Amino acid sequence: MRHGVLLGPPGSGKGTQAALLVQRLGAQHLSTGRLLRQAIAAQTPLGREAQGAIEQGLLVPDATVNALVRETLLALPPEAPLVLFDGYPRSISQAAALDQTLRELTGHALDIALLLDLSDDEVIRRLAGRRECPQCGGVFNVVSAVPSDGSECKECGGSNLTQRADDRPGAITRRLEVYHRETQPLESHYASRGLLHRIAAAAGPATVHSRIMDALAGAGSQRSV
**Residue 90 bears catalytic tag:** yes
**Residue 211 bears catalytic tag:** no
**Residue 126 bears catalytic tag:** no
Catalytic residue among 14, 126, 131, 211: 14
Catalytic residue among 126, 130, 131, 198: 130
**Residue 174 bears catalytic tag:** no
Catalytic residue among 24, 37, 154, 164: 164
DSSP secondary structure letters along 194-219: T-EEEEE-SS-HHHHHHHHHHHHHTT
Catalytic residue among 126, 131, 175, 198: 175
**Residue 130 bears catalytic tag:** yes
- Which of the residues are catalytic? 14, 90, 130, 164, 175
